Amino acid sequence: MAKIQRQVQMLFDLNKCIGCHTCTMACKTMWTDRNEGQMYQYWNNVETMPGLGYPRNWEESGATIGTCQPKNDDEAALTPLPDIEGDYGAPWEYNYGEVLKTEGGNASRSVVVPFPSPDGPDAYASNWDEDVGVGAFPNNYYFYLPRICNHCSDPPCVSACPRRSVYKREEDGVVLIDQDRCRGYRFCVQGCPYKKIYFNPVTGKSEKCIFCYPRIEQGEGNFCVTQCVGRIRWVSYRDNKASNLYKLVNNWRVALRLHPEFGTEPNTFYIPPMSPPGYLANGDLDSKGRIPVSVLARMFGDNCNQTLAQREARIEEIFDILETERAKGMDSELVRILVATTDTEQVQLT
């Protein structure tokens, strides 16, 4: 792989994501709603966690926390190919005719539901388990997880392709698929443990998030960043030490990588979600957040060598930093960055 001159990165504050999917729709309308075969492609998507994810069970790569695996060039690291119907979910329509009188009749129902509705124990589609979460009332919980391709520094999708169709751009580290070279072998899909490559059955080629490179080249932020109503995203280059992204990752150290045990060195970062206290059996408030730190530590960490206990300690540390700085209000640089008022730059691509 050619030496990378610079590397773009993105950061998400999960304390601010409201799960509105504006980012997903921005990406969809910009890149994947014109061509046949792209109907199930969500280069950007937002999942409810804990949950099945999209495609279904993508988190189950078999990687072990505390050991850097799978290795970049280890064929054993190839994971099963997702099935379009079963693991992404076949597209369906909605019963607008029943609700909105669009077919000339009387409205017979007041609720829009999938029609015909997928059913049975294996029913699944994108966001099938949205807002379901886990746990029993009043200690049930969930949070939102927006995802794009991580434009990894050690991307197994690149080494998996025997055609050398997947490559990492030298000038900014964006991972792309050369559509002219691709022959649809799909080893790249198997190689990506985040399952962020989509095979297009109509063109017979694979496609993925392009980090909005035509916009990046103009210094414009990715469309998912600029359209995000929650202002939860920051984008910059890894070496831009003046950027807010750099400050959050390296100075304040409040952001972690998603499943770093996959060993791909992802270039996306997440500020883990805090949560309101849970309730004890006697009805008193617990001193701990409702989302167990152990659940977050299974997902987020600094690097692939960290143990689960080390990851838990880092998350506790981040929550302490956030609480301390929140108490200072707008006197805190960290709070000013995270609040992201309109004079806070979230796109710093110089």
Q: Which residues bind ligand SF4 (CB under 6 A)?
A: 149-152, 155-157, 175, 192, 194, 196-197, 208, 264
Tell me if 184 contacts ligand F3S by CB under 6 A: yes
* CA separation for the pair 212, 23 (Å, rounded): 13
Tokens representing 146 are 């927006």
Indicate which of ligand F3S, ligand SF4, none lies near residue 257 (CB less than 5 to 8 Å, by partner kind).
none
The region of 23-31, 105-113, 176-184, 285-293 touching ligand F3S under the rule CB under 6 A is: 176-184
Interface with ligand F3S (CB under 6 A), residue from 4, 95, 134, 163: 163
Tell me if 182 contacts ligand F3S by CB under 6 A: yes
Query: Is 124 or 167 the residue whose CB approaches ligand SF4 more closely?
Result: 167
Indicate which of ligand SF4, ligand F3S, none lies near residue 165 (CB less than 5 to 8 Å, by partner kind).
ligand F3S
CA-based nearest residue to 23, from 174, 232, 178, 194: 232
* CA separation for the pair 2, 23 (Å, rounded): 31
* CA separation for the pair 277, 285 (Å, rounded): 6
Alpha-carbon distances of 145 from 14, 68, 285, rounded to whole Å: 7, 23, 26
The alpha-helical segments, DSSP class H, found in the chain are: 22-31, 96-100, 156-160, 187-191, 213-216, 223-227, 244-246, 293-299, 308-326, 333-339
Interface with ligand F3S (CB under 6 A), residue from 115, 185, 213, 279: 185
Partnered with residue 312 across adjacent β-strands are none
Tell me if 79 contacts ligand F3S by CB under 6 A: no
Partnered with residue 134 across adjacent β-strands are 141
What's the min distance (Å) between Cβ of 23 and ligand F3S? 25
Indicate which of ligand F3S, ligand SF4, none lies near residue 151 (CB less than 5 to 8 Å, by partner kind).
ligand SF4
What's the min distance (Å) between Cβ of 160 and ligand F3S? 6
Tell me which residues touch ligand F3S (CB under 6 A).
160-161, 163, 165-166, 177, 182-188, 205-206
